[in-house]
Structure 1
Amino acid sequence: MSSWRSAVRPRARTGDLPRRGAPRARVLTSDDVAEAQRLCALDPVGSALAAARLDVAAAAGFGAAGGQAWGFPEEGPLAAICWSGANLVPVVPPTLTGADAEDAVAAFARLARVQGRRSSSIVGDQAWALALWDELSRTWPAAREVRASQPSLAIDRAPDVDPDPAVRRAGIGEIDVMLPACVRMFAEEVGYAPVATPGSAYALRVRSLVAEGRSFVRIDPGPGGAPVVAFKAELGAVAGGVAQVQGVWVDPTLRGRGLAAPGMAALVVATRRDVAPVVSLYVNSFNAPALATYRRVGFEQVGTFATVLF
């Protein structure tokens, strides 16, 4: 792997921050976005989710980005940030460690408690996502599930297996075929089916990814000749030279036929050529088949995530 990995570990201290009572964070404004983006660049794989929303905020404002960014400390240069939207995503860069990092998480938890739970999940670097949940679990409703160990994998080179030539970008005219597959994937992964009626947030999200060329698919003839999504995956977040893959899915009736590895290889080739030089994803540690597939393609572990689902 290339030198971008070295930004993830090890953490190195840059000096203690001044302490003035209980640690506090602030809600960032458009004037702070560039500085927040620079913090994300210290760990581009680990911060891709938050960095992607900051890119939208930089281009079109926080309203378009669908949330807020919080900064720590309350005054002065930023040392850590947290995205608060559909997901709560703490970003504690590798330059912040020890008590300073703990203060950042405590400050984000303080703001989250004040505002109340608005996010459907907490997700990010394992240490900080779980630390944030530890703070919030004292006052927030119980989590539906805590996925405490999710290897974060990345590849920045050609894949180790041949790409599937049938995997391609989905077309906008294939939304009606794609949407049911996306719903089935979501239900398998999260545990419930999203509302996917025309005009719903989920349906619009699927349409947006297809329209932006970030949805990859293999569609084969099914029984009676009707099209069937055999393999699919999306680039759910793109920022800082990293494209984070989400929603990888193979039709249950076609699993075990070797579709996933070549499908992912095709996605890696196309993404590195057209979108970003680094392709990343995170996966539950208990999902041994998926981990084996990604490693076969050439993904390597560069960190560990955790997700708290509500």
Structure 2
Amino acid sequence: MLTQPATRVLEPADLGAALAVLESAPVENAFVTARVQVAGLDPWRLGGEMWGWYSEGRLRSLCYSGANLVPLCATPEAVRAFADRARRTGRRCSSIVGPAEPTTELWRLLEPSWGPARDVRARQPLMVAEGPSTTVVPDPLVRRVRKDEMDVIMPACVAMFTEEVGVSPLANDGGLLYQARVAELVGAGRSFARIEDGKVVFKAEIGAAIRQACQIQGVWVAPEHRGKGLSETGMAAVLRYALADIAPVVSLYVNDYNTPARASYRRVGFQETGAFMSVLF
């Protein structure tokens, strides 16, 4: 137990305290909480370290340091401490992402040594729905992707990732890690699509799921089918599945400049409750 404000790498024995912090903000922390619930705090299983910031002998804030650097429930003092540790260890992540306020400050402190970034998305509205759509009829053709449809869903996933992030997920290892992640979501029943003539028309995944909340990601409509309202009816269908089978609160975050998507999600029933920020390297 640390009696002075300080940071350290958390160990498996700290799991209970870490989960208490994470679960204090279940919607914002869902992605990391889901990973911690499965892998614990062992860095090898978790895919990175969990840094803890202590004040008055209590764990108050966290920062996940792996493929992403993610400040969690981070106070201003904790952000400064996490930035100091990040500078000392050097950049190992491909992005910084998290709630907008602490992530903005973390990037301000790290930019002189870690910059320039490839892209900075300063405000990505966090949107939440707690009930099925009352205005949009769910697309009856949207369903769970089957395990034998990996060859059908993968091209759509790659197209979505490349369009959204600006680089192909196949670039570094031929896509082995990305394919494994897609297969994991398909196997868990959290990949949804409308498939016509062997091609994906609409797709989305529930990328993170905990008891209190889940998070939709990877929303994509094939270019030749855009402008037909399929994103709205498709999202209404995924929302229905999510609420019925996974969690009582469903969230997503979207780039603030994507005005059509934000309007579409609002029509489905999502409301903006906060914001994220992403820094891409």
Question: What's 2:159 paired with?
Answer: 184
Deviation at 1:198, TM superposition (A): 6.9
Measure the CA separation in 2 of the matches of 1:91 and 1:239.
16
| Residues 179 and 206 in structure 1, CA contact (< 8 A), matched pair in contact too | yes
Deviation at 1:261, TM superposition (A): 0.7
TM-score scaled by length of structure 2: 0.94
Q: 1:232 to 1:129 in 2, by over 3 A?
A: same
Deviation at 1:75, TM superposition (A): 7.7
1:143-222 equivalences under 5 Å are: 143-160=117-134, 161-195=136-170, 200-221=176-197
Decide which of 29, 38, 43 is 1:56's aligned counterpart.
Answer: 38
Structure 1: gaps of 5 or more residues = 1-16, 94-100, 222-226
Measure the CA separation in 1 of the matches of 2:116 and 2:193.
36
Secondary structure of 2:39's partner? Answer: helix
| Residues 48 and 240 in structure 1, CA contact (< 8 A), matched pair in contact too | no
Decide which of 85, 94, 115 is 1:120's aligned counterpart.
Answer: 94
Measure the CA separation in 2 of the matches of 1:230 and 1:256.
12
Question: What's 1:259 paired with?
Answer: 230
Determine if the alignment matches structure 1 residue 303 to structure 2 residue 274.
Answer: yes
Measure the CA separation in 1 of the matches of 2:65 and 2:211.
19
Deviation at 1:87, TM superposition (A): 1.2
Question: What's 2:217 paired with?
Answer: 246
Question: What's 2:60 paired with?
Answer: 79
| Residues 128 and 273 in structure 2, CA contact (< 8 A), matched pair in contact too | yes
| Residues 49 and 89 in structure 1, CA contact (< 8 A), matched pair in contact too | no
Measure the CA separation in 2 of the matches of 1:53 and 1:295.
28
> Aligned pair count?
278
AA in 1 matched with 2:48: G
> What fraction of aligned residue pairs are identical, expressed as a percent?
49
Deviation at 1:56, TM superposition (A): 2.0
Deviation at 1:194, TM superposition (A): 1.3
Decide which of 196, 200, 213 is 1:229's aligned counterpart.
Answer: 200
Secondary structure of 2:114's partner? Answer: coil
| Residues 24 and 108 in structure 1, CA contact (< 8 A), matched pair in contact too | no
| Residues 88 and 123 in structure 1, CA contact (< 8 A), matched pair in contact too | yes
Question: What's 1:140 paired with?
Answer: 114
Measure the CA separation in 2 of the matches of 1:157 and 1:219.
26
Deviation at 1:199, TM superposition (A): 6.7
Deviation at 1:136, TM superposition (A): 0.9
Measure the CA separation in 2 of the matches of 1:110 and 1:57.
26
Measure the CA separation in 1 of the matches of 2:8 and 2:263.
42
Deviation at 1:157, TM superposition (A): 0.8
Measure the CA separation in 1 of the matches of 2:19 and 2:85.
21
CA RMSD between the two structures? 1.9
Runs of 4+ aligned residues of structure 1 deviating over 3 Å after TM superposition are 196-199
Deviation per residue, 1:230-286 (Å, 9 max, x gap): 000111111241111110000000001111111111111111111111110000111
Secondary structure of 1:291's partner? Answer: helix
Measure the CA separation in 1 of the matches of 2:199 and 2:258.
25
Question: What's 1:108 paired with?
Answer: 82
TM-score scaled by length of structure 1: 0.85
| Residues 254 and 262 in structure 2, CA contact (< 8 A), matched pair in contact too | yes
Deviation at 1:62, TM superposition (A): 3.5
Secondary structure of 2:170's partner? Answer: coil
Structure 2: gaps of 5 or more residues = none
Q: 1:240 to 1:132 in 2, by over 3 A?
A: farther
AA in 1 matched with 2:10: L
| Residues 26 and 74 in structure 1, CA contact (< 8 A), matched pair in contact too | no
Question: What's 1:6 paired with?
Answer: none
Measure the CA separation in 2 of the matches of 1:109 and 1:32.
22
Decide which of 1, 13, 21 is 1:31's aligned counterpart.
Answer: 13
Question: What's 1:96 paired with?
Answer: none
Measure the CA separation in 1 of the matches of 2:138 and 2:9.
44
